[in-house]
């Protein structure tokens, strides 16, 4: 059985580990990165077919999570994207046609914002 794939980009190691564990428990195959730069390199090198992108906005390096989201959106027009941040409003998410999840989030809000593997997703 092929599991659905999520790319997670989060620069806080504790959150990255937590997100990886949660997404795996929800049935996803997880590709986790500590920067948008590393995640974008993975997209370019591996050209994976993703089922979800979950990214923080502000991370070390040249690229932001919004840059990552826009690159992923350019590769997969209907990819569900969740952008999270504790430092901004939902404007960056709108630019990428993404769901915005403000930090700090709780597990219920996180789960509600992300499609369940196998579920149909309708983007507006």
In a domain, 16, yes or no: yes
The pTM (predicted TM-score) of the whole model is 0.88
- Strand 4-9 relative to strand 52-56, pairing: parallel
119 in a structural domain = no
Residue 120 in any domain: the answer is no
- Within a domain: residue 91? no
Q: Say which CATH number the domain at 32 has.
A: 3.40.50.2300
CB 40 within 8 A of CB 83: no
Q: Six-digit token pair at 54? A: 């979950």
Scan for tokens 């997880």, then name that residue.
30
Per-residue pLDDT of 1-52, as tens digits, reads 578 999 999 999 999 999 999 999 999 999 999 999 999 999 999 999 999 9
Range of the domain at 54: 5-86+98-113
Tally of domains within the chain = 1
20 burial type by CB count under 10 A (0-12 exposed, 13-18 middle, 19+ buried): middle
Q: Is residue 39 part of a domain?
A: yes
pLDDT digits (tens, 9 = 90+) for 89-98: 667 777 778 8
What integer pLDDT is reported at residue 121 of this predicted model? Answer: 44
Is residue 75 assigned to a domain? yes
3-class SS at 98? coil
**CA proximity to 70, closest of 40, 113, 108, 100:** 40
In a domain, 32, yes or no: yes
Report the pLDDT averaged over residues 49-57: 96
């Amino acid at each position: 059985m092929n599991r659905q794939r999520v790319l997670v980009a989060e620069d806080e190691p504790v959150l990255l580990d937590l997100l990886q564990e949660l997404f795996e428990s929800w049935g996803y195959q997880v590709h986790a990165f500590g920067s948008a730069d590393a995640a974008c390199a993975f997209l370019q090198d591996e050209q994976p077919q993703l089922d979800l992108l979950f990214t923080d906005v502000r991370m070390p390096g040249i690229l932001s999570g919004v840059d990552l989201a826009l690159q992923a959106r350019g590769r997969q027009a209907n990819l569900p994207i969740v952008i999270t941040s504790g430092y901004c409003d939902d404007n960056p998410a709108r630019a990428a046609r993404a769901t915005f999840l403000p930090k700090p989030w709780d597990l219920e809000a996180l789960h509600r914002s992300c499609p369940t593997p196998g579920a149909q997703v309708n983007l507006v």
